[in-house]
Structure 1
Amino acid sequence: MARRGSVSRAAVLVTALTAVSTLFGFLRDVVIAAVYGAGASLDAYLVAQGLMNIVLGLIAYAMARSVIPVTAREAAAEADGCTRHSGFDVALTVTMVVLGLGAIVMGIFAGPVTSLIAPGFEGSQAQLTQQLTRIVLAATVLIAGTDLLAAVAQAHGRVVWSSLQGVPFNIIMIGAAGVFGPRYGITALAVGFVVGSGARLLLQLPPLRALGTRIRPSLALRDPGFREIARLVPPLLVGSAIGNINTLVDRAVGSTLEEGAITALSYGWRLVNLPETLLIASLLVPLYPALSAASKDPAEVRRLVGRGLAVTVTVLAPLCLILALAAAPLVDLAFGRGAFDAGDAAATATAVIWYAPALIALGCRQVVVSASYAVGDSKGPVLVAVAAMLVNVVGDILLAPIFGLAGIAAATSASLLGAAVLNGWLLHRRHAGLDAGAAAALVGRAALLAAVAGGAGYGVAGLLDGEHPAVLAGAIGAAVGGLYILGLLVLRAPERHVPLDMLRAARRK
Structure 2
Amino acid sequence: MWSVTRAAAVVTVLTAVSTLLGFARDVVIAAVFGAGAALDAYFVAQGLMNVVLGLVAGAMAKAAVPVTAREARDEDGRCRPHRSFDVALSVTLIVLGLGSLVMWIAVTPVLAALAPGFEGEQAELARQLTRVVLAATVLIAGTNLLAGLVQAHGRFGWSGFQGVPFNLVMIGSAAIFGPQYGVIALAWGFVAGSATRLLLQLIPVHQLGIRLRPSLRLDDPGFREIARLVPALLVGSAVGNVNTLVDRAVGSTLAEGTISALGYAWRLVSLGETLLVASLLTALYPALGAYATDRARMRKLVDQGLAVTAVCLTPLCVILVCAAEPLVTTVFGHGGFSDDDAALAAKAMVFYAPALLALGWRELVVRASYAVGDTTRPVAVAVVAMVVNVVGDLTLGLRYGITGLAASTTLSLLLAAAANTWLLRHRHDGVSLRPATFLLLRSMALAVIAAGAGLAVRVLLTPHAVIESACVAVTVCAVYGAGLLVTKAPEGRLLLDTVKRLRGRVRQAA
TM-score in same-fold range (> 0.5): yes
**Secondary structure at 1:38 match in 2:** coil
**Secondary structure at 1:204 match in 2:** helix
Which residue of structure 1 aligns with residue 250 of structure 2? 253
CA–CA separation in structure 1 for the residues paired with 2:481 and 2:63: 38
The answer to whether structure 1 residue 87 and structure 2 residue 56 are counterparts is: no
**Secondary structure at 2:135 match in 1:** helix
The answer to whether structure 1 residue 477 and structure 2 residue 477 are counterparts is: no
Partner AA of 1:502 in structure 2: L
Which residue of structure 1 aligns with residue 489 of structure 2? 491
CA–CA separation in structure 2 for the residues paired with 1:180 and 1:88: 38
The answer to whether structure 1 residue 144 and structure 2 residue 152 are counterparts is: no
Partner AA of 1:467 in structure 2: P
Task: Tell me: CA distance 1:82–1:351, structure 2 relative to 1, closer, same or farther (3 Å).
Answer: farther
CA contact (8 A) 1:73 1:293 kept: no
- Name which of structure 1's ranges 289-298 and 64-73 shifts more when overlaid on structure 2: 289-298
1:309-348 matches, cutoff 5 A: 309-348=306-345
1:65-76 matches, cutoff 5 A: 65-72=62-69
CA contact (8 A) 1:81 1:212 kept: no
Across the aligned residues of Structure 1 and Structure 2, the Cα RMSD in angstroms comes to 2.7
**Secondary structure at 1:203 match in 2:** helix
CA–CA separation in structure 2 for the residues paired with 1:331 and 1:193: 24
CA–CA separation in structure 2 for the residues paired with 1:149 and 1:310: 37
Give the Å deviation of 1:467: 3.4
Instruction: Figure out how many residues of one structure are paired with residues of the other and give that number.
Output: 505
1:19-98 matches, cutoff 5 A: 19-72=16-69, 80=77, 82-98=79-95
Q: Extract unaligned runs of 5+ from structure 2.
A: none
- Name which of structure 1's ranges 419-428 and 403-412 shifts more when overlaid on structure 2: 419-428
CA–CA separation in structure 1 for the residues paired with 2:293 and 2:87: 27
Give the Å deviation of 1:217: 3.1
The answer to whether structure 1 residue 267 and structure 2 residue 271 are counterparts is: no
Partner AA of 1:478 in structure 2: V
The answer to whether structure 1 residue 443 and structure 2 residue 440 are counterparts is: yes
Identity %, equivalent residues: 60
CA–CA separation in structure 1 for the residues paired with 2:73 and 2:431: 26
CA contact (8 A) 2:261 2:345 kept: yes
Partner AA of 1:505 in structure 2: R
The answer to whether structure 1 residue 404 and structure 2 residue 401 are counterparts is: yes
Aligned partner of 1:120 among 108, 117, 122: 117
Give the Å deviation of 1:330: 1.0
Which residue of structure 2 aligns with residue 194 of structure 1? 191
CA contact (8 A) 2:397 2:408 kept: no
| 1:227-269 deviation digits (Å, cap 9, x = unpaired) | 3332221122112112101101000100111111111111111
CA–CA separation in structure 2 for the residues paired with 1:76 and 1:358: 43
CA–CA separation in structure 1 for the residues paired with 2:438 and 2:210: 46
| 1:389-418 deviation digits (Å, cap 9, x = unpaired) | 111111111112332100000000000110
Q: What is the TM-score when the length of structure 1 is the normalising length? A: 0.91
Task: Tell me: CA distance 1:140–1:280, structure 2 relative to 1, closer, same or farther (3 Å).
Answer: farther
CA–CA separation in structure 1 for the residues paired with 2:239 and 2:360: 18
| 1:164-202 deviation digits (Å, cap 9, x = unpaired) | 222111111111111111221111111110000111122
| 1:108-165 deviation digits (Å, cap 9, x = unpaired) | 1000000000000111111111111010000011111222222333445533222222
Q: What is the TM-score when the length of structure 2 is the normalising length? A: 0.91
- Name which of structure 1's ranges 324-333 and 69-78 shifts more when overlaid on structure 2: 69-78
Task: Tell me: CA distance 1:411–1:434, structure 2 relative to 1, closer, same or farther (3 Å).
Answer: same
CA contact (8 A) 1:291 1:374 kept: yes
Task: Tell me: CA distance 1:366–1:171, structure 2 relative to 1, closer, same or farther (3 Å).
Answer: same
1:444-463 matches, cutoff 5 A: 444-463=441-460
CA–CA separation in structure 2 for the residues paired with 1:316 and 1:155: 33
1:337-376 matches, cutoff 5 A: 337-376=334-373
Which residue of structure 2 aligns with residue 167 of structure 1? 164
**Secondary structure at 1:340 match in 2:** coil
Partner AA of 1:119 in structure 2: P
Give the Å deviation of 1:105: 0.7
CA–CA separation in structure 1 for the residues paired with 2:498 and 2:4: 13
CA contact (8 A) 1:14 1:285 kept: no
Which residue of structure 2 aligns with residue 505 of structure 1? 505
Which residue of structure 2 aligns with residue 278 of structure 1? 275
CA–CA separation in structure 2 for the residues paired with 1:209 and 1:164: 17
CA contact (8 A) 1:66 1:232 kept: yes
Partner AA of 1:359 in structure 2: L
CA–CA separation in structure 1 for the residues paired with 2:298 and 2:90: 33
CA contact (8 A) 2:116 2:253 kept: yes
CA contact (8 A) 1:21 1:166 kept: yes
The answer to whether structure 1 residue 385 and structure 2 residue 388 are counterparts is: no
CA–CA separation in structure 2 for the residues paired with 1:348 and 1:414: 19
